[in-house]
Chain A
Amino acid sequence: MGRWLDFESNPWGQEVLQGVSLELMYLAIGLAVLFVAGHWFWYRSRGFSEHEEPADVQGSVAGLPERIVRHTLPSRIFHWTMAASMLVLLITAFVPLLGLEFAWVTIHWIAGAVLILTIIYHVIHSIVWQDFWSMMSMGAKDFREGLGHFRHLLSSKSPEPEKPGKYPFDHRMYHWGIVVTSLAAIVTGVFMTLRIKTPFWEPNAYYPLVDQAVSGLNELGEPAITLQPGAATGLVFVLHGIAGVLLILMVASHIYFAIRPDKRWFTWSMIRGWIDREHYLAHFDPDKWSVGDGTIQENPPGGAIADSTVSAPRVDD
């Protein structure tokens, strides 16, 4: 434990948790590099094509537009704003630790505020205008679908897996990971921001709220659990640090898959908003991701309405 976590003495001579150690960051960067390199070599050694093969479309194209809307303009704006703020957060958090020093604190909390605003927007947008559960729901059938894909990836002899709905299993798993990790980083980050100078409040390094949030309150309004002075703060720092290093791994793998030649059509859909009909039929089950009856225009307008038409509830919910 001591290797990954930092402890220091508080003024009362007690050893108190301070945060995660720098080695954890190096471990995360090392694991990210290992994963990317390992996946790349493994993919090549298995003889998978680096480029997306022309789709062998078996399904009917009747009634399907050439371009299938996958991400509306509001969704894309959210994604790229969030991506930019996340990258700024990671760069301002870790690059100074790697030796390139600059005044990072102000940039960091402003990027954090932008991230929070984009997430609030995303939650409202997805609840009101999109099919919220299409990305969030995870049932037994989803795990079977994911397992089938995984088996097929490991062995070409295993049966062809079922085609997914709009969001494949691995996308939803990643989304869940990002949700949990980002929320951990945001909640702890807000507590940490209370200690620094912003236009919104006077900094206060001593917030009883954190102790109360961590330990809970008894019926007398006192902390229910007696913590060492500073321990709650240490816990906040540790959670923020762990979330940060996990985000290094997640963002690195996300970028890696986004730029892989065989996955670029996904990335393009996040830029242009649509995928072509061939990719749609080759990779998705029209029963699970219904794109309607041909009412979608070839060059669909951006906006929430367009998205809602292609996000029909998944049949297996």
Chain B
Amino acid sequence: MAIIRDMIPAFELVQPTTVEDALAAMARYGEGGWVLAGGLDSYDWFKDRIKRPEAVIDLGGINELKGISNGQDGLEIGAMTTLTEIVRHERVRSEYILLADAAEHVATPQIRNQGTLGGNISQDTRCWYYRSGWACYRAGGNTCYAAAPQAMNREHAIMGTSRCVAVSPSDTAPALVALDAKMIVRGRRSSKVHDAEDFFIGPATDITRMTVLESGDLLTQINIPGEWANAHFYYEKVRDRGSWDFQLVSVAAAFKTSGNTIDEARIVVNGVAPFPVRLDAVERLVTGVTADEALATEAGEIAIQGSRPLKYNEYKEPMMRNLVRRAVRSVA
């Protein structure tokens, strides 16, 4: 394991007050620049000496990236909005409780006060082989240490892998995918809107990144469309310590219903793959069907089809199956 030291190696600190200034600084430093949101993922990297950026671009002073406002359709959440603000926001709680639930499951109150929505969904994986600085695939090497026959891979992926078996650590990511959120990403020359589902990428696409964000890209805003407001939601996160831990498996689901009948569904599981997994087959199964125990059971079975556990994470299969079953059962 890496040794966490108290002192962080020196770097240039850039504190822009506008998005344009931040983008200019990111362009100036290129790969040597590190974009800092809440800092809760970043400072671990720096203290471990695994990441040694030339410059840190602190977004904390950019007010336009903070806050929640009513958009033309739904909510517009600045990427630097803290998780506590999201948990406490009246409209989020009344119309999008799924997101508030997910945000409230992140770590501890202190961390939620400091941590941001943008940082939570952009954070890097917690695979300890990778975070210990070993030259694995994700770090630019040619091996996955976590996939080795004797590796400690209890927390790793059971599906969606391609050489790397690390999982997405974000609690809010599956909720945003379930809510069909749109991610606004600014570059120096252009702005792009990504569906939350496409924002997270797997190792088959790029083994060194977990999101579409490349050097020079800045996630500025997350839009939650009104389409899923006041839907029937279900969120559950299973973790080793109930007080404070990353998920082992979590489920975020949104259902449009007529009585007990599911008219439309978006069901997303995290902690089982390098990205939040949308369960298309389960959604097709439950759409237009009255929810009952039999449907919930079948949904759970379909959810884990195609999974390939590693040596020590076979338990994730029944855990995922049961979480999906509970999500569908919640409509009954």
> Is B29 close to A, CB under 8 A?
no
Picked from A11, A103, A195, the residue with its CB within 8 Å of the CB of B202 is: A103
CB neighbours of A234 from chain B (8 A): 142
Distance in angstroms between the alpha carbons of A103 and B201 in the assembled complex = 9
A101 beta carbon closer than 8 Å to chain B: yes
Q: Enumerate chain B interface residues (CB-CB to A < 8 A).
A: 133-135, 139-145, 147-149, 161-163, 201-202, 204-206, 308
Grouping DSSP codes into helix (H, G, I), strand (E, B) and loop, the B interface class, with mixed when no group exceeds half, is loop
* Docked pose: A205 CA to B135 CA in angstroms: 14
B143 near A230: Cβ-Cβ < 8 Å: yes
The answer to whether A205 and B143 touch across the interface, beta carbons within 8 angstroms, is yes
Q: Which of B133, B162, B205 contacts A102 (CB 8 A)?
A: B205
Minimum Cβ distance to chain A for residue B207 (Å) = 9
Report the Cα distance A6→B135, complex, angstroms. Answer: 11
A101 & B201 in contact (Cβ 8 Å cutoff): yes
Question: B140 contacts which of A8, A204, A206 (Cβ < 8 Å)?
Answer: A8
Bound form: Cα–Cα A237–B134 in Å: 18
Residue A104 lies at the interface, judged by CB distance under 8 Å to chain B: yes
Most chain B C-beta atoms within 10 Å of own C-beta, residue among A103, A196, A230: A103
Interface pair B148/A8, CB less than 8 Å apart: no
Give 9 A-B contacts (CB < 8 Å), ordered by A residue: A8-B139, A9-B134, A19-B142, A105-B162, A196-B162, A204-B149, A230-B143, A233-B142, A233-B143
Top 10 A-B pairs ranked by shortest CB distance? A8-B135, A103-B204, A8-B141, A105-B204, A237-B142, A103-B205, A105-B162, A18-B141, A101-B205, A18-B142
CA A50 – CA B205 in complex, angstroms? 43
Bound: A233/B141 CA distance, A:
10
Interface size class on chain A is 20 to 34
A35 to B139, CA, bound (A): 35
For A107, the closest partner residue in chain B by CB is B204
Would A205 and B140 count as touching, CB distance under 8 A? no
Q: How far is the CA of A123 from the CA of B108 in the complex (A)?
A: 65
- Residues of chain A within 8 A (CB-CB) of B163 are 105, 195-196, 203, 205
The verdict on A216 contacting chain B, using a C-beta distance below 8 Å, is no
Q: Which of A229-243 contact B (CB under 8 A)?
A: 230, 233-234, 237
Nearest CB to that of B212 among chain A residues? A101
Q: Given that A105-B163, A206-B149, A233-B143 are contacting pairs, would A11 and B134 also be in contact in the complex, using a CB cutoff of 8 Å?
A: yes
Chain A residues 211-254 with CB under 8 Å of chain B are 230, 233-234, 237
Instruction: Please give 14 more A-B residue pairs, beta carbons under 8 A apart, in addition to A8-B139, A9-B133, A202-B308.
Output: A6-B140, A10-B135, A11-B134, A18-B140, A19-B142, A96-B206, A103-B162, A103-B204, A106-B162, A195-B144, A196-B162, A203-B163, A205-B147, A206-B143
Residue of B nearest to A7 (CB): B135
Taken together as a complex, chains A and B put the C-alpha atoms of A10 and B143 apart, in Å, by: 10
Q: How far in angstroms is the closest Cβ of chain A from B197?
A: 14
User: Which A-chain residue is minimally distant from B135 (CB atoms)?
Assistant: A8
Interface residues of A in 174-198 (CB under 8 A from B): 195-197
Contact with B along A1-38 (1 / 0, CB 8 A): 00000101111000010110000000000000000000
Within the complex, what minimum Cβ distance (angstroms) separates A5 from chain B?
12
Cβ–Cβ < 8 Å partners of A233 in chain B: 142-143
Interface of A is mostly: loop
B190 to chain A, nearest CB (A): 14
**Which of B142, B148, B163 has the most A CB atoms < 10 Å from its CB?**
B142
List of B residues within 8 angstroms of A202 by Cβ: 308
Return B117 CB to nearest CB of chain A, in Å.
24
B-contact 0/1 string along A92-130, CB 8 Å cutoff: 000010000111111000000000000000000000000
Most buried by B among A10, A203, A205: A205
A61 to chain B, nearest CB (A): 58
Residues 113-172 of A contacting B (Cβ, < 8 Å): none
Inter-chain contact A197/B135, CB cutoff 8 Å: no
B134: nearest residue on chain A (CB-CB)?
A11
CA distance A314 to B169 in the complex (A): 66
User: Contact between A197 and B205 (Cβ–Cβ < 8 Å)?
Assistant: no
**What is the CB-to-nearest-CB distance from B3 to chain A, in angstroms, rounded to a whole number?**
14
A279 to chain B, nearest CB (A): 47
Complex Cα spacing A185 to B52, Å: 35
**Contact: A11 with B145, CB < 8 Å?**
yes
Say yes or no: A205-B148 contact (C-beta < 8 A), given A18-B142, A105-B163: yes
| Binary CB contact string for chain A from 78 to 94 against chain B (1 if under 8 A, 0 otherwise) | 00000000000000000
Report if A9-B135 is in contact (Cβ < 8 Å); known contacts: A96-B206, A205-B163: yes
Q: Which residue of B lies closest to A6 (CB)?
A: B140
Distance (whole angstroms) from the CB of A106 to the closest CB of chain B: 7
Residues of A within 8 A of B143 (CB): 205-206, 230, 233
In Å, the complex CA distance between A102 and B202 comes to 10
Closest-CB distance, B189 to chain A (whole angstroms): 14
- In the bound complex, do residue B147 and residue A197 qualify as a contact, i.e. CB atoms below 8 Å apart? no
Q: In the complex, which residue of chain B has the Cβ closest to the Cβ of A106?
A: B204
A205 touching B144 by the CB < 8 A rule? yes
Q: Which of B133, B149, B206 contacts A101 (CB 8 A)?
A: B206
Q: Is the CB of A18 within 8 A of B135?
A: yes
Residues of A within 8 A of B162 (CB): 103, 105-106, 196-197
